[in-house]
């Protein structure tokens, strides 16, 4: 059961879980704040912790407000779209055949049936994005299973509004945000490694940081680059972190 701390105009939702450390998060797109605390934590203790972090909270909210955002995509001729961090111009082809997408070094060609609306064009492109991710993710998981000595039982792709990825360490499942297809591949790898390290250590404690630093020393640079890239117009995330 969650409770809310009110500090001036700032409302912070507090959730108690079976964790060892307090974890404070500022969520896109609007700077919503949550605090996860160990089960036995008193509300006044959580409040004192939040007050001590007000400067950090304000800074994260400021960054979110200033974060550049894509204009809404309409999936029309010569519109800009990103794949693996590179900009491509969209070309629309109307043809009475199965919808499909192709790409070269400058252009994404979206072939749809005559009369297809923007929702249909978006659906076709999103399915193609997922197919690109499915090509890249399994080899990366296999690579890091060997390095980390863990097993990913299954991975899932989905749109997420507040995270780039998540992990259920009990089931061995990880989830990855489909927006990652728009980012450079090394940033996708960083998110995968982050989630797979959670199979060893579920929380963001010192052990987790030590493991991540050992196996992926440049993770802080990757996180910073990922969080500096433009937010999608649909308000998929610039996350303040991954979980």
Domain regions of the chain by residue span: 3-66, 80-228
Are 191 and 183 in contact by the 8 Å Cβ rule? The answer is no
Q: How far apart are CA 169 and CA 153, in angstroms?
A: 10
Q: H/E/C letters for each residue in the chain?
A: CCEEEEECCEEEEEEEECCCCCEEEEECCCCEEEEEEECCCCHHHHHHHHHHCHHHHHHHHHHHHHCCECCCCCCCCCCEEEECCEEEEEEEEECCCCCEEEECCCEEEEEECCCCCHHHHHHHHHHHHHHHHHHHHHHHHHHHHHHHCCCCCEEEEECCCCCCEEEECCCCEEEEEHHHHHCCHHHHHHHHHHHHHCCCCCCCCHHHHHHHHHHCCCHHHHHHHHHHCCECCCCCCCCCCCC
pLDDT in tens, 76-116: 888 889 999 999 999 999 999 999 999 998 999 999 999 88
Q: What is the mean pLDDT of residues 55-59?
A: 91
Answer yes or no: is pLDDT of 14 > 80.
yes
Over residues 43-49, mean pLDDT:
93
At residue 72 the predicted structure's pLDDT band, cuts being 50, 70 and 90, is: low
- Residues 4-8 have a mean pLDDT of 92
Contact 135, 120 (CB under 8 A): no
Number of other residues whose CB lies within 10 A of the CB of residue 46: 22
Tokens of 202: 């579920």
Secondary-structure class of domain 80-228 per CATH: alpha beta
Flag whether pLDDT at 121 surpasses 50. yes
The three state secondary structure string of 95-142 is: CCCCCEEEECCCEEEEEECCCCCHHHHHHHHHHHHHHHHHHHHHHHHH
Residue 161: band (very low, low, confident or very high) from pLDDT cuts 50, 70, 90:
confident
> Smallest Cα–Cα separation from 226: which of 194, 197, 201, 198?
194
pLDDT value of position 67: 64
**What confidence tens digit (pLDDT) does each residue in 183-197 have?**
999 999 999 999 999
Q: What is the pLDDT of residue 71?
A: 64
| Residue in 35, 31, 40, 33 with CA at minimum distance from that of residue 14 | 35
Share of the chain above pLDDT 90, in %: 62
Greater model confidence, 163 or 112:
112
Note the pTM of the prediction, 2 decimals: 0.72
> Considering the chain, what is the average pLDDT of its residues?
87
The pLDDT confidence band at residue 239, using thresholds 50, 70 and 90, is: very low
Angle at the Cα of 162 from the Cα atoms of 83 and 26, rounded to 5 degrees: 125
Give the residue among 95, 103, 192, 191 at the shortest CA–CA distance from 150.
Answer: 192
Which is nearest to 88 in space by CA: 112, 58, 65, 110?
110
């Amino acid at each position: 059961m969650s409770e809310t701390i009110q500090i001036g105009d700032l409302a912070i939702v507090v959730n108690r879980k079976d964790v060892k450390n307090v974890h404070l998060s500022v969520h896109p797109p609007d700077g919503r704040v949550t605090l996860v605390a160990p089960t036995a934590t008193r509300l006044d203790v959580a409040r004192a912790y939040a007050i001590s972090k007000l400067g950090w909270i304000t800074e994260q909210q400021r960054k979110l407000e200033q974060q550049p955002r894509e204009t809404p995509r309409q999936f029309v001729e010569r519109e800009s779209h990103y794949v693996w961090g590179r900009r491509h111009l969209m070309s629309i082809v109307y043809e009475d055949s199965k919808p499909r997408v192709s790409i070269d070094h400058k252009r994404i060609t979206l072939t749809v049936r005559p009369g297809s609306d923007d929702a249909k064009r978006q659906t076709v492109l999103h399915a193609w994005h997922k197919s690109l991710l499915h090509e890249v993710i399994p080899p990366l998981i296999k690579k890091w299973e060997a390095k980390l000595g863990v097993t990913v039982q299954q991975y899932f792709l989905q749109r997420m509004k507040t995270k780039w990825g998540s992990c259920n360490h009990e089931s061995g499942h990880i989830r990855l945000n489909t927006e990652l297809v728009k980012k450079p591949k090394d940033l996708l790898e960083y998110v995968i490694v982050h989630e797979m390290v959670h199979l060893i250590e579920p929380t963001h404690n010192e052990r987790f940081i030590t493991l991540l630093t050992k196996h992926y020393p440049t993770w802080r640079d990757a996180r910073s680059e990922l969080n500096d890239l433009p937010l999608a117009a649909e308000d998929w995330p610039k996350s303040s972190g991954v979980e």
